[in-house]
Structure 1
Amino acid sequence: MPLSISLAMHLPEFILFASDATIVGLWGGLFLLIAVLALAGDWLRARRKDVDRVGCMPWTPIFLACAMIGVGLMVVAVKGWIAG
């Protein structure tokens, strides 16, 4: 059995039969969730007790990139949902 068929058989019906707008909305929600996690990481880094322990993750650019992508995808999804 090809890989794509075996993966499709295990997807829930909600995702398997979802519209393109719903799939884009799910991806947009995922990017917004990552943006919120990056914002929390930046908030924790700014309030660390030992200022010499600098982290290696660029939380602000991760937040900005994920937030822009997520908002863009959600706008496209909402436009698709409204259009029907």
Structure 2
Amino acid sequence: MDDSMRFLATAGALAALLAFVAWIGDRRRMKRRNLDSVGFMPWTTIFFWSLLAAVLLLGISGRAWLGVN
């Protein structure tokens, strides 16, 4: 695997980590006790875009790693 594919795999792993953190944040928001304290982070949007980036980046680097055209 060359350096560009390694970069894509690292970026995909970081995006997956961000998606996991956003998923935890969204879950905590849904289970909060005080319904008036919503917060200001758009966890659902962050989760969606980071998961999309993770799937695309890891898919591209995985295809290159396996040698699939």
- Common fold by TM > 0.5: yes
1:55 to 33, 39, 49: 39
Aligned-pair CA distance for 1:49: 0.7
Kindly report the root-mean-square deviation, in angstroms, between the aligned alpha carbons of the 2 structures: 1.4
Give the Cα–Cα distance (whole angstroms) in 2 for the partners of residues 71 and 25 of structure 1: 10
In the alignment, structure 1 segments of 5+ residues that lack a partner are 1-17
- Aligned-residue identity in percent: 31
TM-score (norm: length of structure 1):
0.75
The answer to which structure, 1 or 2, has the higher relative contact order (CA under 8 A, 6+ apart) is 2
* Other-structure match for 2:62: 78
Q: Give 4+ residue runs of structure 1 displaced > 2 Å after superposition.
A: none
Return the TM-score normalized by structure 2.
0.90
How many residues align? The count is 67
Q: Post-superposition shift, 1:35?
A: 0.3
